[in-house]
Amino acid sequence: MSFETLRSFADLGFSVAAVIAGGVFIVILLKYILAGVVDDVKSLNGLAGMLNNRVRTMNNDLVRIDALISSRFGLRVDLERLARSDGKTDARKD
């Protein structure tokens, strides 16, 4: 420790220096905890995006199967349902 640090301890008192050291410790601890939380949120965001893509793909598959079965049995194809589907292609990596 330098002479200036020792002089500040003597001027301020040990209790004030301990409070300052405790505050620095809490700031470092909060940075560490929040960095972990941010990483978890990013991974959950990616997972939610993948699940959203999967649901859209399944929805389009259901619309396609519905149209195929309707045409196979000679029923009228629901054109409104076909128009509502966004036509997203399968972008899964599995």
The pLDDT of residue 87 = 60
CA 8 to chain centre: 45
Residues in the chain: 94
The pLDDT of residue 23 = 94
Backbone torsions φ then ψ of 69, nearest 5 degrees? -70, -40
pLDDT tens-digit series, residues 37-93: 988 899 999 999 999 888 888 887 888 888 888 888 888 877 777 777 666 555 555
Structure tokens, 29: 């601890």
pLDDT tens-digit series, residues 16-47: 778 888 999 999 999 999 988 988 899 999 99
Q: Choose among 8, 3, 55, 2: nearest CA to 47.
A: 55
Structure tokens, 7: 């002089």
